[in-house]
Amino acid sequence: MLLNRFVQAIPIMILATFLVFSLLQLVPGDVAITIAGENASEERIQEIRELYGLNQPFLVQYGNWLLNAIQGDFGDSLLSGEPVLETIFRVFPNTLFVVVYAVILSVVIGVPLGIMASSRPNSKLDGAIMGASSLGVAVPNFWLGMVLVSVFALTWNWFPATGFTSPSDGLSSAIWFATLPAIALCTNGIAEVARQLRSSLVEIHSSQYVRTLHAKGLSPVAILWKHGLKNVSVNLLTVISLLFNKALAATVVVETVFAIPGMGNTIVKAVLEGDFPVVQGAVLAMVVSVILVNLVTDLTYTILDPRIQQV
């Protein structure tokens, strides 16, 4: 099972590398000219072609790039000359820190809300929680970030407006700086967790075996903990792994608002400057992390729900 799942992830990884590399093919005109600059001499452009292997057929270029990438060589930044892998190692932990923080917040806030909403379906409380989660899905998270900065940082001075401390330089300070970005990122997650949990719990509460448990005199709290949450844990896990993907995507804008030196910020800067190796490496790193999270999620399913193992 374990091995099987790993083997399944490999073609997806390879396909992902191919798609990421193909991004370069979308660039209109000659990439060599784009890299060298509009006014570069013919010799310089030719030199760039040789250097990056752009004069070779596409598949050969891809093969070479993939071989290097497997060995951890994603090329160097066209602007700073820093190896792309070093950039990724430098900025990815910052992004992961904020994303994990946001996912934790989503679960910690979303789960009680979902339980509350499901305890009395169609009540006023349920309506209010579900209404709030509709807003949570619709709010643009970077705008929420701006509002948070304006209110909590610039007006009330509770939190720093922008900037970031790496978790390795001091955890408490890192949490301090990452709180507003994490709040901005987590509204969507809170809403998704609350909705999913509510609908699964309502379904379970109306099932035959829960009715039997009620009849046998088990308290609602015991039913929730021993039977309800245990049975929705798989659904919840699916939502959490999707949240990781979404929060990772949202960092692209939120990191810009809070000036966090993370992956999103790096990708946006690289895109605006035409720094293709950085774009390719950073996008690939994000995709690989999503694939890994999906893999871990699938493996955790089998622990939470032994029935899945047979599939």
CA angle 8, 9, 10 (to 5 degrees): 95
Q: Which of 10, 15, 60, 79 binds another protein (CB under 8 A)?
A: 15
Instruction: Name the one range near another protein by CB under 8 A: 69-77, 140-148, 175-183, 202-210.
Output: 140-148
202 lies in the binding site for another protein (CB under 8 A): no
Residues 6+ apart with CB under 8 A from 310: none
Least spacing, CB of residue 89 vs another protein, in Å? 18
Q: Which of 291, 297, 302, 304 binds another protein (CB under 8 A)?
A: 291
Q: Is the Cβ–Cβ distance between 277 and 84 less than 8 Å?
A: yes
Question: What values do phi and psi take at 76, rounded to 5?
Answer: -110, 155
Q: Is the Cβ–Cβ distance between 103 and 216 less than 8 Å?
A: no
Please tell me whether residue 83 adopts helix, strand or coil conformation: strand
184 lies in the binding site for another protein (CB under 8 A): no
28 lies in the binding site for another protein (CB under 8 A): yes
Amino acid at 259: A
d(CA 160, CA 39): 43
CA angle 252, 114, 142 (to 5 degrees): 20
Instruction: Name the one range near another protein by CB under 8 A: 74-82, 143-151, 201-209, 213-221.
Output: 143-151
Nearer residue to another protein within complex by CB, 192 or 228: 192
d(CA 266, CA 105): 25
Q: Which of 66, 139, 202, 304 binds another protein (CB under 8 A)?
A: 139
74 lies in the binding site for another protein (CB under 8 A): no
Binding mask 154-183 for another protein (x = CB under 8 A): xx----------------------------
91 lies in the binding site for another protein (CB under 8 A): no
Question: What values do phi and psi take at 83, rounded to 5?
Answer: -60, 135
Q: Which residues bind another protein (CB under 8 A)?
A: 11-12, 15-16, 19-20, 23-24, 26-28, 134-135, 137-140, 142-144, 146-147, 149-150, 154-155, 245-246, 248-250, 252-253, 256-257, 264, 267-268, 270-272, 274, 279, 283, 286-287, 290-291, 294
